[in-house]
Amino acid sequence: MATEIERKFLVTGDRWRSLAEGKLYRQGYLARGTATVRVRIVGERGYLTIKGQNDGICRLEWEYEIPIADAQMMLDSLCDAPIIEKYRYPISIDGYLWEVDEFLGANAGLIIAEVELTDETDQPTPPDWIGAEVSDDPRYYNANLAQHPWSQWSRD
């Protein structure tokens, strides 16, 4: 068992783009509720992930590598559309890994950065391309973006 401790932020500007190469992620959801079960393909690898409910910025998480053919079959046959497609850019700054997700498809135009922490009290200095924090806004959880894509949100 592992505990994921993560903060999420909107990204502003393009200065982050020169800091890393992106890798395509495709993921869908098999279950949502007390636990969220996700299948994901990254490059030539498949993963099955189980996440518990959020407790602030923490939640339980288990991730297992699975055969890519199984992951593809699950995405094709068990996950509701739209699946989440995004490019992820890993950027290390001052000992913290910032992962910038540039969404595609129904979530195109949305760019979020996540920073993984080892403790809830960690306070990494945000890079200058980090905007508003959205850690406490469930609309920005990938599982919710699959059901309620960003392109359908009201921008009032």
Q: How far is CA 94 from the centre of its chain?
A: 21
Whole-number Å distance between alpha carbons of 97 and 59: 18
Nearest to residue 107, comparing CAs of 74, 128, 85? 85
According to DSSP, the residues that pair with 66 across neighbouring strands are 46
Whole-number Å distance between alpha carbons of 61 and 59: 6
Catalytic: 87? no
Catalytic residue among 25, 29, 89, 140: 29
Residues forming the active site: 29
